[in-house]
Chain A
């Protein structure tokens, strides 16, 4: 026993390291990945592999030849960016577009700012938004889920439930007339709907989220505030006019909300540091998501909402500084 060893501070260590956390997050994404491989088949596997490999490749190229610094492609952060980017694009997206998305994610959103820990916007979301604005046709063709598909060509595509809803409401149809056109809620929850590669199954993503909560890779504040504010706001609108606004449960299980709230908004680098800051940030994300979904031009607003709130994070961090230990409490 070395009870009397003398050493300098710090005296308390944690087992965690950057790459350990990153690989933990990758591990927690496995359920969602399995569901997507089940519903979208080979195409989903190819998109995911392409994104991961090209993200690591671009990070290597930039670190070796432009920054000329240490090469950290195996710390897991590039892998996460790749997986998340693949999860928020359609499985039918041509692979060269996935490569361009990876270049934008790693090159523009991450390395231009100085690499891991210095980026102000979530890299995967920047890649997705770039692709969405650049290739609107390909990014809006979502393959219909078919179990165990090995087909790569002639995939049947269709709109996402959110797009069906938006289109229908815009044409003046009643919500109760549109509901039969979209899959039942059980299917939406399991992931049997049109959508991006990994965002379809709310259950699988929740499983991953619970794992990350137990491992303390994320805290409860941001997902709760995000999902809660979407639920409350959508519920309020639904109570006002249930024939024009769809019920809150629909908003919870469709689109990229679950993936966004659990994996994107909670990105350690681009989210606020203090508890109240996180709650404000989450509510802001939820509010913007719903505003874009209901009143905006795009059917889905999670990516834009999180990127907009990312821009506010430095401000939120200034506004919600935790009290230092020993600081005087006013009027206390």
Chain B
């Protein structure tokens, strides 16, 4: 039951983007389409899973005073794996995510979970936490990306909703649309959190 709570808290109750407001740079920067958000979310989930496992294993070896640099080295290793893999197998997604892939290294969400959870908990809990948080992050980015894609290009995951019409409300493709969509999704998630609590 405790592990189930660890897993599900990432979706609504402690949703990393809309409730904890962690990892906002990628959430605002790459969510121009649902697929970009989905890809970014899964990449972050993988890094989070890897870093949580390793940090949880070696938490007793890391000296307390240099723990942040140690976390960054661990996270950076996994980010490099993601980056090279994505460049090899998903070059299109890699091009559209661009700089935001290496920036996962300093993503508050990954750092935050390593610091606040993995360095204090056993390895099994850390895996569950990483999965829950990572999938919650993916859900958030996909929702924001989907909202912006529907309104900005009248399509979802690249499928046109209205045949022949491709120019939607341009503002949702641009940066202000990210903030507008974000604000309203924060309202929605806080409302759902209140309902479920």
**Are A108 and B180 touching (Cβ within 8 A)?**
yes
- Find the residue from A100, A112, A134, A135 having the highest chain B CB count within 10 A: A134
Interface residues of A in 111-125 (CB under 8 A from B): 112
For window 145-197 of B, CB contacts with A under 8 Å fall at: 168-172, 174, 176, 180, 183
Q: Is the Cβ of B169 less than 8 Å from the Cβ of A100?
A: yes
Q: Are A133 and B180 in contact (CB under 8 A)?
A: no
Number of A-B contacts (CB under 8 A): 16
Q: Which residues of B contact A108 (CB under 8 A)?
A: 180
Interface range on chain B (Cβ under 8 Å from partner): under 10
Does A326 belong to the interface (CB within 8 Å)?
no
User: Please, which residues of chain A bring their CB within 8 A of the CB of B174?
Assistant: 133
Whether the pair B180, A135 counts as a contact (CB closer than 8 A) is no
Most buried by A among B171, B174, B180: B171
Q: Does A332 contact B (CB under 8 A)?
A: no
Q: Contacts of B183 on A, CB cut-off 8 Å?
A: 112
Residue of A nearest to B174 (CB): A133
- Report how far A108 CA is from B168 CA in the complex, Å: 18
Task: Kindly state the separation between the CA atoms of A134 and B171 in the bound complex, as whole angstroms.
Answer: 5
Q: Mark A74-108, 1 if CB is under 8 A from B, else 0.
A: 00000000000000000000000000100000001
Is B170 within 8 A of A134, CB to CB?
yes
A107 to chain B: closest CB distance in Å? 10
**Residue of A100, A112, A136 touching B170 (CB-CB under 8 A):** A136
**C-alpha spacing A225/B171, complex, angstroms:** 32
* CA distance in complex: A133, B176 (Å): 10
Quote the shortest CB–CB distance from B159 to chain A (angstroms). 22
What's the nearest-Cβ distance from chain A to residue B41, in Å?
27
Q: How far is the CA of A112 from the CA of B172 in the complex (A)?
A: 18
In the assembled complex, how far is the CB of residue A212 from the closest CB belonging to chain B, in whole angstroms?
Answer: 32
Q: Which residues of A contact B180 (CB under 8 A)?
A: 108
What distance in Å separates the Cβ of B169 from its nearest Cβ neighbour in chain A?
Answer: 4
Residues of A with C-beta under 8 A to B176: 133
The contact string, 1 if C-beta is below 8 Å from chain B, for chain A 129-155, is: 010011110000000000000000000
Among B168, B169, B172, B183, the most chain A Cβ lie within 10 Å of the Cβ of B169
| Alpha-carbon distance A135/B183, docked complex (angstroms) | 22
A130 to chain B, nearest CB (A): 6
Question: Which residues from chain A contact B171 at a C-beta distance below 8 Å?
Answer: 130, 133-134
Q: How far is the CB of B158 from chain A (nearest CB, A)?
A: 21
Minimum CB distance partner of A133 in chain B: B171
- C-alpha gap A135/B180 in the complex (Å): 17
Give every chain A residue within 8 A of B168 (Cβ-Cβ). 134
How many Å lie between the Cα of A60 and that of B88 in the bound state? 54
Q: Within the assembled complex, what's the spacing in Å between the Cα atoms of A135 and B171?
A: 8
Closest 9 CB pairs of A and B: A134-B169, A133-B171, A134-B171, A134-B170, A130-B171, A133-B170, A136-B170, A133-B174, A133-B176
- The residues of B with any CB-CB pair to A shorter than 8 Å are 168-172, 174, 176, 180, 183
16 residue pairs from A and B, CB less than 8 Å apart: A100-B169, A108-B180, A112-B183, A130-B171, A133-B170, A133-B171, A133-B174, A133-B176, A134-B168, A134-B169, A134-B170, A134-B171, A134-B172, A135-B169, A135-B170, A136-B170
Q: With contacts A133-B170, A135-B170 known, what are 14 further pairs, Cβ within 8 A?
A: A100-B169, A108-B180, A112-B183, A130-B171, A133-B171, A133-B174, A133-B176, A134-B168, A134-B169, A134-B170, A134-B171, A134-B172, A135-B169, A136-B170
